[in-house]
Structure 1
């Protein structure tokens, strides 16, 4: 990994995290007096919910096995850091540990850290920012009692959970404001009126109001959407564990053995990429085609 960081000056600038379930093919332990030693004793059950937007139906699927928690580079689609745990281990908990465990070189190189809404939470965002990275994380809608907007302190501004900011005029009409950029001097986001209103006032929203909603890159900006879309890179890296390393049909039992096999897969992946870089090939480093 150090060699790749030296040879690729942009490796690790944009990171993404996600978890991958590796289902166990062995039977789970039973309560028989003479248990089958071939059963899987260290895997655990976990549930994943899938939402069908078209039919507005949420389906829950249960899995028995392990989970790979992976941070990868979104440009080269190479693994940066990972941990293998039983399937029921919280993704957000492990994510905080992985962020803490990034080397100084990895944290200094990192600029943006992407994750889906399963990782949404103030503690993780603050850990990411303490490592000098910007969190690009989809947020959950958690307001209750049908609350659509909240007032920003004692001002004429209100905002919603999607990060949209409105100015409420004297008639109670909300006017959507345009994002104008991040102000690092006081950790705030700047907003202004659309030119058609002929009002040049600039408003600032302190991020301390709610760092989940007010990212350093505004949620309503094209930049946020573009960066967040790069998160799919980690899904492709996880998919290669199934496709290239055949984890979708394995006979591995036990957490230590699973961790060893995943480690060997990622080492092979990185070694192959390094060989390409040494041969002056810097495109498609995750591909097995020479």
Structure 2
């Protein structure tokens, strides 16, 4: 029923699907908490989880995680999965990506995720298998320096140690120009030190060479940041689930299968309501 409603919403033009945000939220178990040593690790039992809130503060709970792929235009879920709370967000990412593509017909261009999903395999599979771009914040994981010749966001550093200027992307190739020529710095060596051309030195990076560091659009660009900012639509979806549809306060079932059923009923209610409102609006417009 959930998949059918997603397809109906897409056919009605309620979903954009060019960008899909993927994230996870905590779901506290209705059953009594038990010590971790007594939990049977079979992928079905409630477990202890820890996750940072929007301010970076750790939150610990006993229960499950709800993983959702959200259409950023409508804020509607298009793919879901419930796991024990100890599952990492990144371990479910590719399964959600697959479900998002299977549940819809439109081409998904961008998959938006936070730094918890920063794994090379996710970038590569999204690019190679689904021909889409992963927009994921970098997790430096204790790295003290960026890759040699580049800044943290994949911007090339010129021989005078200035950040080069992003000059567009075409078919997975990013172009960067001399910052002195572009008026972004006053290089003591001038542009002639790096290039004899009046155009200045040019450096190109290819996404296929390092899908994690390089992306199209470039990580340091306004377009990349604009896409990444859309990721907050997943938070709005979670908020509706919890505040309006009783995902937590109304949860009075035990075991992961029943919790997942409860979550799907929340999603079905949300999508069905949006479809009904838009169908009613269309009917009234036709009658007028």
Give TM-score, length-normalised by structure 1: 0.79
Is residue 278 of structure 1 aligned with residue 279 of structure 2? yes
Do 1:108 and 1:131's aligned partners in 2 also have CA atoms closer than 8 Å? no
TM-aligned CA deviation for residue 10 of structure 1? 5.1
Equivalent in the alignment of 1:62: 60
- CA contact 1:107–1:131 (8 Å) conserved in 2: no
- 2:178 is aligned, of 171, 181, 193, to 193
Structure 2 residue 169 is matched with structure 1 residue 182: yes
CA distance in structure 2 between the aligned counterparts of 1:137 and 1:107, rounded to whole angstroms: 24
Consecutive unaligned residues of structure 1, counting only runs of 5 or more, are 32-40, 53-57, 151-157, 282-290
Distance in 2 of aligned mates of 1:136 and 1:30: 37
Matched residue, 1:203: 203
2:150 aligned residue = 159
Match of 1:135 in 2: 134
Distance, in Å, in 2 between the alignment partners of 1:209 and 1:143 is 23
Give the Cα separation in 1 of the matches to 2:275 and 2:269: 10
Question: For structure 1, which segment, 256-265 or 189-198, has the greater mean C-alpha deviation from structure 2 after superposition?
Answer: 189-198
Larger deviation, residues 5-14 vs 214-223: 5-14
User: Which of these residues, 81, 84, 97, is aligned with residue 83 of structure 1?
Assistant: 81
Residue 100 of structure 1 aligns with which residue? 98
Q: In structure 2, do the counterparts of structure 1 residues 161 and 21 end up closer, same or farther at CA, with 3 Å as the change threshold?
A: same
**TM-score, length of structure 2 as denominator length:** 0.80
Give the corresponding residue for 1:47: 50
Task: Specify which structure has the higher proportion of strand.
Answer: 1
